[in-house]
Structure 1
Amino acid sequence: MTRDDINQPGPLAEITAAFERYEAALTSNDVAVLDELFLVDPKTIRYGIGENLYGHDEIAAFRAARPASGLERSLERTVITSYGSDFATAMTLFRRALGKIGRQSQTWAKIDGDWRIVAAHVSVIPETEDA
């Protein structure tokens, strides 16, 4: 891979669409789509604000039990980067509660022709002027 392989228009458009689909599913609590977008594999990991989830089964169980209200949020400083045609990252800041800012990072891989999240991390920190 060379620097020319970063953010090629085709893969970047694909992963951006996948990220936007994830965000729509998250804020509307479309659990079926959220489950679909995480790779079904025991090596898939999601570190959340209050949970550490190992494997698709734990991630799906968390989604199924999560309250369906209060999921609206606004995104800021979203950076989506594709590396070649099969690997990408998506990083964003989000706001829900006054005085706190959330951070979300996702690692995506194109597997069997479909973009899937293989690792994710979500955290919340106090808001600062440089956030």
Structure 2
Amino acid sequence: MDHDDSSYAEAPATPRVKRPETSTPFSQLANPLAKASLPSIIMAQWIQPMVSLGARRVLEKEDVWPICARDACSSLEQLFRRVYDPSRRHPFNLSPLAAAYARTFQTELSFVLLSCVLYVVALALQSYVAQAILQ
């Protein structure tokens, strides 16, 4: 692109804080998700400090927590290798890779499935509840 073109303006760099930070950056702290309670996870309260910081200024790389140890590649790889058997036959001719993923993330997938079922049930009951309130 021609640098003499006056219609092009380069985007400014992300603003850095000029004053020294008094608190430890999140990148040097443990991820709060590792110790968050179930209600805190459901209501996303564990991420509130980062949301508050992001409301005050643009987040930088130093403002992000490190990955939880249980979600790191090395620990997930160990879980995956324990259940992956490429020679094993699965029902419905399911891929050994898909079966290993399902076994590795069984808890997370079950939670998502249960949440979806509860959501559909709540949607189905919504009209009955509204009708009962109006009568």
Counting strand residues as a fraction of each chain, which structure ranks higher?
A: 1
Q: Structure 1 length normalisation: TM-score?
A: 0.20
Q: Structure 2 length normalisation: TM-score?
A: 0.19
Counting helix residues as a fraction of each chain, which structure ranks higher?
A: 2
- Higher-Rg member (1/2): 2
